[in-house]
A and B are shown apart, each in its own frame.
Chain A
Amino acid sequence: MNTIETNSLNRSFNGREAVRGISFAVEEGEIFGLLGPNGVGKTTTIRMLTGQLRPTSGEARVAGYDVVRQRQALKSQIGVVFEYQNLYERMTGRDNLLLAARLFGCDTRRVAEMLEKVGLQERAGEPIRSYSNGMKQRLLIARALIHDPRILFLDEPTKGLDPAASRQIRSLVKDLARRGVTVLLTTHYMEEADQLCQRVAFLCDGRIVALDTSQNLKVAHGQRLVRAVFRDGGERTVRLDDPADGRQLGEWAAQGEIVTLHSAEATLEEIFIQLTGKGLAE
């Protein structure tokens, strides 16, 4: 069952088209990634899907609700983690969650539960300005989940975080998906998308240029290559689709000349560049 469906979604700002005819569907419990560099329309898409921005044309349904006409009913079904860490800096972590609990009308006992879930119970009484970026990001996730939403939108969830904090966030996201929460995330870190997402959509200039599983994209747009490292320090790249190369690789292995074998398949980033002609850092 699809929990997110978009059909020819468009959004213009002063005549400039930020999102152009985006159509996709996300299944319940799926982790879906919108990938692309800054300014390609990822955040605009999330803002339309969460009812913050009206599409110029097209339609979208999230959790069965029309994002324009049923915006208010949609709110209890979704949690949103924004690109910027928009917490109340002078308030404590606990008070930030208490406010969210009161707004959503949920049991305030959820606050302690969520703090424990994201490992912030010991720092809950401290003001947000004393938190590290990783702690703030975990608190943002806790805030987005306080009302137990069916769908979680994550806009660049690990942007600016150190590797350890990024790992914690990814682990939290995987755990949520295991519990049946649908996750739509935007990122320009392709490795992250590769690790987390069941399917990804490449966005370029407001359009989806490719949409599939990472594996299928790699097979469709990459080459099946293996890099062999020999005892003498030399390296050879072998094409698995070439029968002669395959036989040669078998012989080297039998003669014990190969020290290690490395997959040399294309990365998502390379496929993105191949498809769009643009890098992710642009």
Chain B
Amino acid sequence: MNGRIILAIAQKDIRDAIKNRYLLVGLILPVGMSLLFRVLFSGASDVATPTVAVYDPAGSRFTAQLQALPQINLLKVDSMTQLEAQVRNAGMAVGGIAIPPNLDQDIASGTQPEITVYLNMQKNATQLAALRQLVSDQVWALNPAAEPARIHWSDVAPPQGSSASTAFRIELYLLVLFLVMSLTMTGAFVVPLLLVEEKDKHTMEFLLVSPATPAEVVAGKAITGLVYSAIGAGTMLALNHGWAGNWPVTFLTVLLGALFMVAVGLLMGSVFQTMMQVNTWSSIIMLIILAPTWFTVFQLPPILNTIVRLIPTYYLADLLNLSLSNMVTLSTGATDFGVLLASLILIFGLVIWILRRQET
């Protein structure tokens, strides 16, 4: 691999792509739509760190432990009535935790006290799942050798006609949707077009009689895709408070997502020969890739849920949801991260295999 050649191809494509109307639309559309929806939902609240209310009259070690966590804002309340109000009526908190008065002593004596966790069902499913995981992890952390306390989960149904937190959920949902759409448009539409246009206009033959190898041409296209993904996703995150939440994880997730989508695009570009094929197939492929993003926050029937989980974008959207709502932990994010990484390696492997076959 020759870095000079790869950069020459990438530089050419980065400058040339913005002169191509098709590519330009592919790059700008998701950012434009995100801006439009931001204007439409301008009154909506931030994707800030979620609040968890806690009632702990004795001041336990568990509360101190929760307070130290950066993923949540802990709101201490003085009574059960206030706790319920936070979860039910005002609707600010994702959940509320009621801690018995003698928690620390009971754990020490091994009597397994009961902690009650109220889940605000108005909040999105990802946040609630993350809260469940977080509370379980923290309870086990009190005594990793044996289950220190039992957890009683109590779903708090939303009051009739309430829409207190709907705006928040939609904004996060749309941010994730448009982020994934931006990565998909760049990866699964722009990248294959860059490759197939070279074949269609016979400029690929010029590149291949120059010192460039097929692998270097593909690497140049991959860099172009990553640069445009970074610009698209970066703009979208900047415009939508993407730094809120766990930004290092968000950054890593976007990078993984961009790499995955670029790999998909390279695979398409290696298989397809004409612009017509890309235009026809990329819409179908993009629909399939984007489908899980639409459903991450909804309860789906089991069969649909299984199908959606077969598509790696499900895990990308889930990880983005978790990181943007600052609910990501090792246990909640590990599966998403692992599946994404494995899919990425698999598709890049396929691309390399196809390239080697073409070179021989």
Q: Indicate whether A and B interact.
A: yes
Which A residues are within 8 Å of any B CB, using their own CB?
50-52, 72, 75-76, 78, 80, 82, 84, 86-91, 95, 99-100, 102-105, 143
Given contacts A72-B211, A103-B211, A105-B211, contact A82 B12 (CB under 8 A): no
Tell me which residues from 173 to 222 in chain B have a Cβ below 8 Å from any Cβ of chain A: 201-203, 205-213
The answer to whether residues A103 and B8 also contact, given A76-B211, A78-B209, A90-B16 and a CB cut-off of 8 A, is: yes
What chain A residues lie within 8 Å of B4 (beta carbons)?
102, 105
Given contacts A88-B16, A91-B12, A91-B16, contact A103 B212 (CB under 8 A): yes
Q: How many A-B residue pairs have CB under 8 A?
A: 58
Q: Which of A72, A80, A88, A105 contacts B203 (CB 8 A)?
A: A88
CA distance A78 to B5 in the complex (A): 18
Closest to A76 in B: B211
- By a beta-carbon cutoff of 8 Å, the part of chain B in contact with chain A is 4-5, 8-9, 11-12, 15-16, 19-20, 201-203, 205-213
Q: Are B213 and A72 in contact (CB under 8 A)?
A: yes
Distance (whole angstroms) from the CB of A181 to the closest CB of chain B: 16
Give Cα A80–Cα B212 distance, bound, in whole angstroms: 14
> How far, in Å, is A103 (CB) from chain B's closest CB?
4
- The B interface, classified by DSSP as helix, strand, loop or mixed, is helix
Choice from A52, A91, A99, A105 contacting B209 with Cβ under 8 Å: A52
6 contacts between A and B (CB under 8 A): A50-B209, A78-B209, A86-B206, A102-B11, A103-B8, A104-B211
Return the chain B residue nearest A75 by Cβ.
B211
> Given the complex, which residues of A lie within 8 Å of B212, measured CB to CB?
103
User: Nearest chain-B residue to A143 (Cβ)?
Assistant: B206
Task: Report whether B203 and A86 are in contact in the complex, using a CB–CB cutoff of 8 Å.
Answer: yes
- Return the chain A residue nearest B201 by Cβ: A86
Q: Is B20 a contact of A80 with CB atoms below 8 Å?
A: no
A-chain residues with CB within 8 Å of residue B5 when the two chains form the complex: 102-103
Chain B residues lying within 8 Å of A84, measured Cβ to Cβ, are 202
Nearest-Cβ distance from residue B182 to partner chain A, whole angstroms: 23
B209 A90 Cβ-Cβ under 8 A:
no
**Chain B's nearest CB lies how many Å from the CB of A70?**
13
CA distance A102 to B203 in the complex (A): 16
In contact, B12 and A88 (Cβ under 8 angstroms) = yes
Q: Within the complex, which residue of B201, B202, B203, B209 is in contact with A75, where a contact is CB–CB below 8 Å? A: B209
Q: How far is the CA of A97 from the CA of B19 in the complex (A)?
A: 18
Chain A residues within an 8 Å CB radius of B206: 80, 82, 86, 100, 143
Which residues of A lie under 8 Å from residue B12 when comparing CB positions?
A: 88, 91, 95, 99
The answer for the CA separation of A53 and B47 in the assembled complex, in Å, is 56
Inter-chain CA distance A87–B9, complex, in Å, is 14
How far apart sit A225 and B206, CA to CA, in the bound complex (Å)? 46
For B9, the chain A residues whose CB sits under 8 A away are: 103
Minimum CB–CB distance for A38 against chain B, Å: 17
Q: Are B205 and A86 in contact (CB under 8 A)?
A: yes
Q: Which residues of B contact A104 (CB under 8 A)?
A: 210-211
List residues of chain A with CB within 8 A of the CB of B211. Answer: 72, 75-76, 103-105
CB-CB under 8 A from B208, the residues of chain A are 52
Cα-based distance from A95 to B203 in the complex (angstroms): 14
B16 touches A51 (CB 8 A): no
Q: Indicate whether A90 sits within 8 Å of B8 (C-beta atoms), given known contacts A75-B210, A105-B211.
A: no
